[in-house]
Structure 1
Amino acid sequence: MDIPKIQWYPGHIAKAEKKLSEVINKVDLVIEVRDARIPLSTGHPHLNKWINNKKHILVINRSDMVSPHTINSWNKWFNAKDQYPLWCDAKRGIGIKEICKSAKDSRSSIDDRRLSRGMRIRPIRALTLGFPNVGKSALINRIAKKRVVDSARKAGVTRNLRWIKLESGIDLLDAPGVIPPNLEDQKSALNLALCDDIGEAAYEIESVAIEFIKIISTLNKDKNANISAKQISNRYGVDITKGFKSPSAWINEAASKHTSGDTRRMSHKLLEDYRNQMLGKIALEVPLWN
């Protein structure tokens, strides 16, 4: 059975994206934030249009949720495309110094360009851009060195555009998560659902749990995915490799042990365990070389 189509485009995002299009030309620097578990799925298809020759810093957050080996492999993949991501764990403040340094370096080159054109130096306007729930607000609080915006591990916390003045001579625009109005790539949409980067109302949880088992079955032998079938099997007392042949049968068996046979509750438990790293540091996307 095919997974029901995943679509999620709440009104506050549509409203914010309209406002964003009105201010984007005033921005000098775009700080794009992605999710380390799915760095391709959290790349917005309209990003290049928004950047439009502006300075761009690619930040991949939640580095704590994938293995160092996975990060090294992704760096090689991105570097081959002349992209140099900065990895961070905004929740714990790891990697923030490098991001601040990169922003400061960008500010210097922007200042030099303004001076060369006979323009006055002013605070640099930077935009934090990314999908919902990738950690933009946590990153802003770390850069600001204080809590200036609300932050939580759920989609839709930031609902309005807001300018924040930083001591470093940078004005930072905090924007709600942006997402394509139509999720054409359903594989990416599934990844967003699995990582809790879109609202739960957008998908049917049992279908998504079944797809999760299919994904880890496919990636099981890839070192970059960092999957331990033994760890998953031990957690539930049911051999996960059985689920590779019949995901729904595995969920039924696990449900009989943990949720009194309630497969919906078991599906929710499986996804929450993944999101909380109870199953290990599993990457749902791995570098594919042409």
Structure 2
Amino acid sequence: MSFVPRTAFPAATSLPRSYFLGHHKSGLQKMKTLLSTIDLVIECRDYRVPLTSRNPLFESSLDGKDRLVVYTKRDLGGPPRDARNEETITKWHGSVPVMFVRNAGSDGDGEAGKRRSVGRLLEFLREHAQRRWKLVGHRLLVVGMPNVGKSTLLNALRAQGVGKGKVARTGAQPGVTRKVGSGVKIIPSEDDVEGMDASSRRRYRGVGGGVYLVDTPGVFIPYVPDAEAMMKLALCGSVKDSIIPPVVLADYLLYHINRVDPALYAEYSPPTNDIIPLLEAIAGRTGRLGKGGQADTEASALWMIQRWRTGHMGRFLLDQVSPEALEKSRAEEEAMVPSMNQARRMETERRRVRAQSKGGK
């Protein structure tokens, strides 16, 4: 009998729906105060969840400035030569420019692919600066959900743009950047290239004082009305691994892997819809065992999740990319996104009900 993957994932109504922390709120407020000094807002979104990693707070709070949407981790979402999703996503944004940036060395295109994508972004930013000369330089604000790759992007732009080393801390878990930073030069000024060859001087003519990028902490959505969206964000690392039980998250990942290709975990198990036997097999193969040689399913779940995050257990999108999916997302957002105060009340009530149900057992 041939394997039949699940067509839907069981509703997980008890999962947390909020990860809007104190430094998220203060960071957003700081961004607003800086807005008058900013020439371009760069919003980063995770290519694997192009709809779910959108935070409407940025559009409402940072309105009135030129915007660029950058989809990070492009190579973790599918083959480099498959541009169909890119075309659809670009159409979603209408007149707002969109670019796609790759990770370093995570697929067959490797470092060269990353350098090309970062180079295209630098060209866009240089040309944007040249349209309005400023002696003090252009200032860009990079924003996005937690752990979508803002600081990694800053480091890549700085390294390739001005040949300088890493300046922003990065990490596998969200929350590494907790404060709005100062501007970091990513494109040289006209004075910087004065001693270079004529071609370089022509290339940077009009950039004035150069281009500076301001890094910011990731800002989560105040409330996620859909439990599946929360699991998608957790899988991509936008919330800490302790927020959602790892076995539940690994099961959700298994659901998606089976819809793509069960052979992605063939070295550990035949196709299965049951996460526990798969995690036990992974534990045995990787040595993640507890007392008495029992499989540590939680550690195995975290290992499985991390393997997917780095592209070693499939590269695919968790969101559906289609005009219909976009319209559905917009309709849900308009109907369900509450204010921050409402979000806090809803989350408090959910926790109260959950605590009461546990106490009554």
What TM-score results when the alignment is normalised by the length of structure 1?
A: 0.82
User: What letter matches 1:64 in structure 2?
Assistant: D
Residue 218 of structure 2 is matched in structure 1 by 177
Distance 1:96 1:64 in 2: 13
Larger Rg: 2
Runs of 4+ in structure 1 deviating by more than 6 angstroms, as ranges, are: none
Runs of at least 5 residues in structure 2 that lack an aligned partner in the other structure: 1-9, 105-110, 190-209, 289-293, 325-361
Alpha carbons 2:139, 2:183 under 8 Å: kept:
no
SS in 1 for 2:242: helix
Q: Is the 8 A contact 1:214 1:247 kept in 2?
A: no
Does the residue aligned with 2:212 lie in a helix, a strand or coil? strand
Aligned match of 2:320: 286
Aligned counterpart in structure 2 of residue 163 of structure 1, from 176, 182, 194: 182
Task: Specify the alignment match of 2:264 in structure 1.
Answer: 231
Q: How many residues align?
A: 269
| Matched position secondary structure for 1:159 | coil
Gaps in structure 1 of 5+ consecutive residues: 112-119, 221-226
Q: CA-atom RMSD, angstroms?
A: 2.5
Provide closer, same or farther for how the CA distance between residues 39 and 71 of structure 1 changes in structure 2, counting only shifts above 3 A: farther
Q: Superposed, which structure 2 residues align to 1:207-246 within 5 Å?
A: 207-217=248-258, 220=259, 227-234=260-267, 236=268, 238-240=269-271, 242-243=272-273, 246=274
Q: 1:30 to 1:123 in 2, by over 3 A?
A: same
Structure 1 128/18 Cα, relative in aligned 2: closer, same or farther at 3 Å? same
- After superposition, the Cα gap between the structure-2 partners of 1:48 and 1:11, relative to the gap in structure 1 and judged at 3 Å, is closer
Deviates most, 70-79 or 140-149: 70-79
- Tell me the distance in 1 between the aligned counterparts of 2:321 and 2:101: 19
Tell me, yes or no, if the aligned pair for 1:135 and 1:153 is still in contact at 8 Å: no
**Residue deviations 1:193-240, cap 9 Å, x none?**
1111221232111111112222333xx2xxxxxx33213122x1x113
Counterpart contact for 2:11–2:227, Cα < 8 Å: no
- CA-to-partner distance for each residue in 1:41-95, whole Å, 9 max, x for gaps? 2111223223423211111111221223685122221233325521112544431
Contact 1:75-1:84 within 8 A present in 2 as well: no
Q: Does 1:193 align with 2:207?
A: no
Deviations 1:141-174 (A, max 9, x none): 2222222222233211111111224224223211
Determine if the alignment matches structure 1 residue 150 to structure 2 residue 163.
no
- Cα distance in 1 between the residues matched to 2:231 and 2:152: 24
Offset of residue 2 of structure 1: 4.3
Query: Match for residue 122 of structure 2?
Result: 100
2:264, 2:314 within 8 Å by CA — same for their partners in 1?
yes
Letter in 1 for 2:261: S
Residues 58 and 108 (structure 1), Cα distance of their counterparts in 2 relative to 1, 3 Å cut: same
The corresponding residue for 1:117 is none
Q: Is the 8 A contact 2:49 2:232 kept in 1?
A: yes
How many angstroms does 1:261 deviate by? Answer: 2.7
What is the distance in 2 between the residues matched to 1:251 and 1:43? 32
Kindly indicate whether residue 297 of structure 2 is the aligned counterpart of residue 263 of structure 1: yes
2:50 aligned counterpart, secondary structure: coil
Structure 1 counterpart SS, 2:182:
strand
The change in CA–CA distance for 1:90 and 1:263 in structure 2 (over 3 A counts) is closer
